[in-house]
């Protein structure tokens, strides 16, 4: 899954000079660190081509090589269609990050890496015939033709970076959980490989937020409050999205408990350690109180839904 930031003000608008300087410097260092630790890989080497054969008219409904549970099928369907919208995400991020900067360079590298994800997932789906490929292509045409629209409103560049940290971690978790439920070894390996890319993308944004937090914690806390409370993954424009989301949640791939335990707690509470931040102004303190209350409420809802899951399998968070 890819990570959009809605088109908004030009990079840096509304930021103090020291925040802008720290953001630019940190982005450059984090980009260099990313390039040093990212590993080259090739989608065609992960696909079991020996399982495939040519398609003829009407072949899409044949018996698949790999049988998928409903939740896994929904996760793969939503994930690959979301990845297909990469051109729109690149355009939106460029409008926010700019071009001639470390963030602009990062955006181009990120796009090149993300392109591999839909390629390898779709190739595996084709050789295994595990989904309705005619339906998938029609859905891709619809999705890309519609473009990308989100209810998220990027109040500032910092909001965009916070959102991307949350989204990339959510994507990593979703891919890995999907891979764990795949009985097919090649499919599981592909999802793990894609999740590894997403993890590196998550680390970039997590650490970028931390760098800005060190000089302007109140501004960052207000962005965290806004983004945690309005968080959505891209994909809600996919036809039948609500049903897919319910199926994904019922399978335990991504539900309220996953969102709370594997996103909010490790990133917001532990990674950014918002409870222990000092030097906050009045707005920062208010934001911290508000987001902590929201996270605690999410935890209570997650626990209640976990207990009721057998009776209420359709309860799902605003995720893909």
Residue 12 inside a domain? The answer is no
Residue 116 inside a domain? The answer is yes
Q: How far does CA 294 lie from the centroid of its chain?
A: 21
Instruction: Give the model's pLDDT for residue 166.
Output: 96
Q: What is the pLDDT of residues 87-125, one digit of tens each?
A: 788 877 777 787 888 998 999 999 999 999 999 999 999
Sign of CA dihedral 213, 218, 219, 224: positive
H-helix or E-strand containing 72?
helix 70-84
Residue 6 inside a domain? The answer is no
Give the domain extent around 87: 17-52+65-307
* Higher pLDDT among residues 148 and 313, named by residue: 148
Q: What is the DSSP letter of 276?
A: G
What is the pLDDT of the chain when averaged over all its residues? 86
pLDDT grade for 311, boundaries at 50, 70 and 90: low
Does 6 have pLDDT greater than 70? no
Q: What is the pLDDT of residues 195-229, one digit of tens each?
A: 999 999 999 999 999 999 999 999 999 999 999 99
pLDDT grade for 157, boundaries at 50, 70 and 90: confident
Residue 2 inside a domain? The answer is no
Residue 316 inside a domain? The answer is no
What's the pTM value of the predicted model, to 2 decimals?
A: 0.87
Q: Give the pair of three-digit tokens for residue 2.
A: 């890819």
| CATH classification at residue 94 | 1.10.620.20
Instruction: Give the model's pLDDT for residue 317.
Output: 53
Residue 139 inside a domain? The answer is yes
User: What interhelical angle do 157-180 and 185-213 show, nearest 10?
Assistant: 160
Backbone angles phi, psi at 282, to 5 degrees: -60, -40
* Higher pLDDT among residues 265 and 14, named by residue: 265
Does 18 have pLDDT greater than 80? no
Does 5 have pLDDT greater than 90? no
Q: What is the DSSP letter of 10?
A: P
Q: What is the pLDDT of residues 247-280, one digit of tens each?
A: 999 999 999 999 999 999 999 999 999 999 998 9
Considering its fold, how many domains does the chain have in total? 1
Does 318 have pLDDT greater than 60? no
What average pLDDT does range 152-162 have in this prediction? 73
Residue 58 inside a domain? The answer is no
pLDDT grade for 63, boundaries at 50, 70 and 90: low
Residue 57 inside a domain? The answer is no
User: Which residue has 């989904």 as its token pair?
Assistant: 131
Q: How far does CA 259 lie from the centroid of its chain?
A: 12
């Amino acid at each position: 899954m890819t990570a959009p930031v809605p088109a908004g003000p030009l990079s840096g608008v509304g930021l103090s000079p020291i925040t802008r300087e720290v953001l630019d410097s940190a982005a450059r260092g984090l980009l260099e660190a990313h390039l040093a630790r990212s590993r080259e890989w090739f989608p065609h080497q992960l696909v079991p081509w020996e399982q495939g054969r040519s398609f003829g008219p009407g072949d899409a409904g044949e018996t698949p090589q790999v049988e998928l549970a409903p939740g896994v099928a929904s996760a793969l369907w939503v994930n690959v269609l979301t990845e297909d919208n990469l051109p729109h995400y690149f355009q939106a991020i460029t409008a926010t990050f700019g071009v001639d900067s470390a963030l602009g360079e990062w955006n181009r590298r990120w796009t090149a890496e993300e392109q591999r994800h839909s390629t390898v997932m779709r190739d595996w789906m084709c050789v295994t015939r595990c989904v309705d490929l005619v339906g998938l292509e029609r859905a891709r045409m619809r999705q890309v033709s519609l473009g990308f629209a989100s209810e998220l409103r990027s109040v500032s560049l910092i909001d965009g970076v916070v959102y991307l940290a949350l989204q990339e971690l959510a994507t990593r978790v979703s891919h890995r959980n999907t891979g764990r439920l795949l009985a097919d070894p090649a499919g599981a390996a592909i999802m793990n490989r894609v999740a590894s890319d997403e993890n590196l993308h998550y680390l970039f944004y997590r650490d970028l937020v931390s760098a800005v937090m060190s000089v302007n914690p109140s501004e960052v806390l207000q962005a965290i409050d806004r983004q945690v409370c309005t968080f959505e993954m891209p994909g809600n424009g996919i036809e039948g999205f609500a049903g897919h989301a319910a199926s994904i949640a019922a399978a335990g791939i991504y539900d309220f408990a996953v969102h709370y335990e594997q996103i909010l707690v490790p990133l917001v509470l532990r990674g950014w350690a918002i409870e222990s931040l000092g030097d906050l102004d009045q707005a920062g303190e208010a934001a911290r109180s508000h987001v902590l209350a929201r996270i605690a409420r999410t935890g209570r809802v997650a626990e209640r839904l976990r207990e009721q899951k057998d009776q209420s399998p359709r309860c799902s968070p605003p995720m893909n």
